[in-house]
Structure 1
């Protein structure tokens, strides 16, 4: 198997898709908490920057802890496939 530009682009695309899928739980939780805190700040007219940062950090950390087994499974599967197919890639 010769390494073609299409192979390299497909390989990079797969890596970027995995990165986006892995980031999705934390980013989604951060977005949801940010919207909720923004609504709370607009309703109470409290404009403190730490009020929006701290809840997002805590929520994203909790999401990371809860999604960590799933994330590790995705990463291990990707890495295992990469190493198993390595002899095919370097031919």
Structure 2
């Protein structure tokens, strides 16, 4: 294995992590921005108000995007195992 192979594996791993974490991060961002907007409009600055909706929405996003995340991780694992089998 040379430097190019290592860089390709690292690049593919980073891309897989971004795709796998994307749904949860996007949902957390959207819920956080919308709660911040509601707090700014109503001038209710309660810190604990953001936790429950964010946690519930992230759990729902993870549950709904589970097959997608699993497919991404499975594809990454298969690619790595094929590269190991072929001797990089």
What is the TM-score with the length of structure 2 in the denominator? 0.92
Name the residue aligned to 2:13.
Answer: 15
CA contact (8 A) 2:19 2:72 kept: no
Q: How far apart in 2 are the matches of 1:89 and 1:60?
A: 40
Tell me by how many angstroms 1:10 deviates: 1.2
Alignment of 1:29-40 (within 5 A): 29-40=27-38
Tell me by how many angstroms 1:49 deviates: 1.0
Q: How far apart in 1 are the matches of 2:49 and 2:78?
A: 42
Alignment of 1:1-91 (within 5 A): 3-89=1-87
Tell me by how many angstroms 1:81 deviates: 2.1
The count of corresponding residues between Structure 1 and Structure 2 is 88
Q: How far apart in 1 are the matches of 2:36 and 2:79?
A: 42
Higher relative contact order structure (alpha carbons within 8 Å, sequence separation ≥ 6) = 2
